């Protein structure tokens, strides 16, 4: 059995955030990795974004990301030399991306602006990595730090609450395999 705990995070006065942690549902609480985790995150990300368009932002190992996308015919946009923006184009491609890059930290942006070039955010991603979202997340429904190797997704958002994320995620996960809840 897996446990997906979703809770509000206190990251300071100027940042509202929701943390998602995917772990074993036992006393050791080891992060879930590999195929099981990939399936959970592949189902969760689209419903977190809801009806909004969304992208994944890669800001490290760019050549490997480009090669993977070219080989698997996944559409992407290079933003300068250090950022790759990949629009959501379906669950199968998302699953292959997460499976391949689950050991990397990468970003997520959901909202109307995600379909357009956001020079400010993309320049900051190239310069500061995931910290770029700290000052820019309010322009989106949410921005996210995907650290799936450690079973973690942190959403920076003024528009989604932990309860809303639970409400969106719970129906797409098998309750016999994944318990979705606020921390005890």
SS3 of the chain: the string is CEEEEEEEEECCCCCEEEEEEEEECCCCCCECCHHHHHHHHHHHHHHHHCCCCEEEEECCCHHHHHHHHHHCCCCCEEECCCEEEEECCCHHHHHHHHHHHCCCCEEEEECHHHHCCCHHHHHHHHHHHHHHHHHCHHHCCEEEEEEHHHCEEEEECCCCCHHHHHHHHHHHCCCCCEEEECCC
Confidence (pLDDT) at 26? 93
Query: pLDDT tens for residues 85-119?
Result: 999 988 889 999 999 999 999 999 999 999 899 99
Q: Is 151 a domain residue?
A: no
Confidence (pLDDT) at 14? 83
Confidence of residue 11 (pLDDT cuts 50, 70, 90): confident
Write down the pTM of the prediction: 0.95
How much is the average pLDDT of 43-60? 96
Q: Is 45 a domain residue?
A: yes
Q: Is 152 a domain residue?
A: no
Residue 167 has pLDDT above 90, yes or no: yes
Residue 184 has pLDDT above 80, yes or no: no
Q: Provide the domain count of the chain.
A: 1
Q: Is 132 a domain residue?
A: yes
Confidence (pLDDT) at 179? 97
Q: Is 52 a domain residue?
A: yes
Confidence (pLDDT) at 62? 95
Range(s) of the domain holding residue 84? 2-146+158-181
């Amino acid at each position: 059995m897996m446990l997906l705990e979703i809770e509000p995070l206190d990251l300071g006065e100027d940042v509202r955030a929701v943390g998602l942690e995917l772990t074993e549902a036992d006393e050791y609480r080891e992060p879930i990795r590999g195929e099981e985790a990939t399936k959970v995150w592949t189902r969760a990300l689209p419903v977190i974004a809801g009806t909004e368009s969304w992208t994944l932002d890669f800001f490290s190992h760019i050549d490997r990301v480009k090669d993977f996308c070219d080989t698997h015919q996944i559409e992407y946009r290079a933003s300068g030399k250090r950022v790759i923006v990949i629009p959501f184009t379906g669950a199968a491609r998302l699953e292959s991306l997460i499976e391949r890059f689950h050991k990397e930290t990468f970003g997520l942006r959901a909202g109307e602006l995600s379909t357009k070039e956001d020079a400010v955010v993309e320049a900051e991603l190239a310069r500061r990595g995931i910290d770029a979202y700290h000052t820019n997340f309010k322009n989106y429904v949410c921005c996210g730090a995907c650290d799936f190797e450690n079973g973690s997704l942190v959403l920076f958002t003024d528009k989604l609450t932990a309860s809303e994320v639970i409400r969106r995620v719970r129906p797409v996960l098998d309750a016999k395999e994944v318990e979705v809840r606020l921390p005890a």
